[in-house]
Amino acid sequence: MRLYIDSANTDQITRLNKYYPISGVTTNPSILVKEGKPYLEVVKEIRSIIGENKELFVQAIGETAEEIVEEARFVTREISGNVVVKIPVTEEGIRAMQLLKEENIPTLATTVYTAFQALIAAMAGAKYVAPYVNRIDNLTGNGVRVVEEIAQLFKIYNLPCEILAASFKNLQQVHDVCLAGSETVTVAPKIIGKMIAFPTTPTDVNDFKNQWTTLYGVDHTNL
Ligand code: E4P
């Protein structure tokens, strides 16, 4: 299992990257626009925070395959390190995935709502597919079930494509896709913070500390 931060906020990325076993950062146009700065400036800052090896995802906004390929070449030239280009699952997007595969530029198929969209993207050479779990749920679908189906299809057809489940509203959805076979998840900062939170943990820690210091004092090396 690998965990990605779904945000372009550099303060939050700095904090989460310090404490959590993060494999990279995913952005999309809405996430970048929120920062109110030129997007290249933001993604380059993110790169300097996470280092060269972790994956950084940037979405193409071009409509035709040629425009998408041009953007993919541009971002992978401008941004150092491990960059993955997110491409929406449209006919032009599917064509761009195949063209970029020939150039060895890694892609992620985004805006995935059905197992078939994921299957075609994987056949086109995408490295990842991103099912939008909460957005599927909002349409009275079942986001976790879609992830399960994708995992099953990739296994049956032995496709070398990973699921990067995205669009979560709560921790239960993240929990369920991890069990459904998603190799990776991208999660907003406020939900990552909840992953290790449990009310009795700080109480237990406090009790241990109080009992210890009663006898041994406050020197933490006094074991
Ligand atoms: C991944 O990067 C997706 O774009 C993102 O998770 C979508 O999340 P949302 O449905 O909360 O906008």
Query: Could you read off the pLDDT of 164-217 as tens digits, one per residue?
Result: 999 999 999 999 999 999 999 999 999 999 999 999 999 999 999 999 999 988
Distance 78 CA to ligand 1 centre (A): 24
Task: State the pLDDT at residue 222.
Answer: 66
Distances (CA, A) of 72 to 53, 170, 189, 192: 18, 32, 26, 29
Q: Measured from the CB, is residue 166 less than 6 Å from ligand 1?
A: yes
DSSP designation for 112:
E
Q: What is the value of ipTM here, to two decimals?
A: 0.97
pLDDT at 219: 76
pLDDT value, residue 205: 96
Find how far residue 154's CA is from the centre of its chain: 19
29 Cα: distance to centroid of ligand 1 (angstroms): 10
Q: Class of the 2-198 domain?
A: alpha beta
Q: Which amino acid is at 206?
A: N
168 lines ligand 1 (CB under 6 A): no
Quickly count helices (H) and strands (E) in the chain.
11, 8
Domain boundaries, the chain: 2-198
Q: What average pLDDT does the structure give for the chain?
A: 97
pLDDT tens digits for range 19-74: 999 999 999 999 999 999 999 999 999 999 999 999 999 999 999 999 999 999 99
CB atoms within 10 A of CB 157: 11
Active site residues: 86
At 98, the amino acid letter reads Q
CA of 124 to the centre of ligand 1 (A): 22
Indicate if ligand 1 lies below 6 Å from the C-beta of 84.
Answer: no
Question: Would you say the CB of residue 169 lies under 6 angstroms from ligand 1?
Answer: no
What whole-number distance in Å separates Cα of residue 218 and Cα of residue 196? 26
Which of 3, 9, 31, 110 is the pocket-test mutation for ligand 1 (most atoms within 8 Å of CB)? 31
Amino acid at 122: A
Q: What is the pLDDT of residue 165?
A: 98
Question: What's the average model confidence in pLDDT over 81-88?
Answer: 98
Give the pLDDT confidence of 135-144 residue by residue, as tens digits: 999 999 999 9
DSSP code, position 103: T
Q: How far is CA 130 from CA 42, 67, 107, 127, 133, in A?
A: 22, 21, 11, 10, 9
Q: Is 149 in the pocket of ligand 1 (CB under 6 A)?
A: no
